[in-house]
Amino acid sequence: MRILIVEDEKRLADILHKGLEEEGYAVDVAYNGEDGLFMAQNEPSDLIVLDIMLPIVDGMIILTTIRKSGVKTPVLLLTARDSVMDKVSGLDSGADDYLTKPFLFEELLARIRALLRRNSEIRTSTIEIADLVLAMDTHEVRRQGSLIPLSAREYALLEFLALHKNKVQSRTELTEHLYDYHFDLDSNVIDVFINRLRNKIDSDFEQKLIVTVRGAGYMLKD
Ligand code: CA
């Protein structure tokens, strides 16, 4: 999953960037409202963490502008002011949730997971595909009950496929949602990660869950 952070407090933006990457998310950062608006409209993000008080273009203007232009990406607003008016106008303008600064990183993570889940058909924090179980809050993956250790990147790819189970995802879609703006889209890195996942998830089991659809991409099928 790919997250855009629009935050002008560089230190906070960098902490969030690092923390979210460690959780396996692909992260883009805009340090001002103008870049934030451009990236929110042009990059295929799965979620936007948007500060309200921003130089050049205010967060509320970004929010109303992208909603008017049809961008439906979930938006989590960050507000420094614990003001009821801010929250009400933020939610009225199309934000999906808000968090008042200062906040705990764990709380941000929990809300991000909830918003990403809300946008998929998955309603619980556990996804089951045949005998494969993903626990989205702990990132634990088990097959027939045995724990399968995965790297953050491997988990992110598996989770994305799981959230869209039984639907083919192209290499481009996977790359766009799992890597940030600075990543070279032509790389075959997705194939490399799929092979690693196959070795860990499928090789010891008769039922193969990771399916290659020729000319189209990959899917996780139960
Ligand atoms: Ca700010």
Given pLDDT bands bounded at 50, 70 and 90, which one contains residue 11? very high
Cα–Cα–Cα angle for 212, 121, 110, nearest 5°?
Answer: 105
40 CA → ligand 1 middle, Å: 17
Dump pLDDT digits (tens) for 67-85. 999 999 999 999 876 666 6
pLDDT at residue 117 is higher than 80: yes
User: What contacts 90, CB < 8 A, 6 or more positions away?
Assistant: 52, 60, 63, 77, 79, 98
57 CA → ligand 1 middle, Å: 11
Give the domains, in start order, of the chain with CATH numbers: 2-118 (3.40.50.2300), 126-220 (1.10.10.10)
CB neighbours of residue 125 within 10 Å? 14
Q: Are 77 and 50 in contact (CB under 8 A)?
A: yes
49 CA → ligand 1 middle, Å: 12
Tokens at residue 168, please? 């083919």
According to the model, what pLDDT value does residue 88 have?
A: 74
Range of weakest confidence among 51-55, 122-126, 134-138, 213-217: 122-126
Q: What span, in angstroms and rounded, lies between the C-alpha atoms of 215 and 222? A: 21
Dump pLDDT digits (tens) for 160-215. 999 999 999 998 889 888 888 776 666 688 899 999 999 999 999 999 999 999 98
According to the model, what pLDDT value does residue 175 have?
A: 87
pLDDT at residue 119 is higher than 90: no
According to the model, what pLDDT value does residue 35 have?
A: 96
- Which residue's structure tokens are 């993570």? 109
Say whether 176 sits in a helix, a strand or coil.
helix
According to the model, what pLDDT value does residue 187 have?
A: 61
Partners of residue 147 on adjacent β-strands:
142
Task: Name the average pLDDT for the chain.
Answer: 90
8 CA → ligand 1 middle, Å: 5
Through-space distance between the first and last CA atoms of the chain, rounded to whole angstroms: 21
Alpha helices in the chain (DSSP H): 10-22, 33-42, 59-68, 84-92, 105-118, 152-163, 171-178, 189-197
Tokens at residue 197, please? 């996942």
According to the model, what pLDDT value does residue 92 have?
A: 81
Given pLDDT bands bounded at 50, 70 and 90, which one contains residue 4? very high
Nearest CA-CA partner of 148 in 209, 219, 192, 191? 209
Q: What span, in angstroms and rounded, lies between the C-alpha atoms of 103 and 112? A: 13
pLDDT at residue 40 is higher than 90: yes
116 CA → ligand 1 middle, Å: 24
Mean pLDDT of 141-146: 96
Q: Residue 73 carries which side chain, given as an amino acid letter?
A: T
| Global pTM value | 0.81
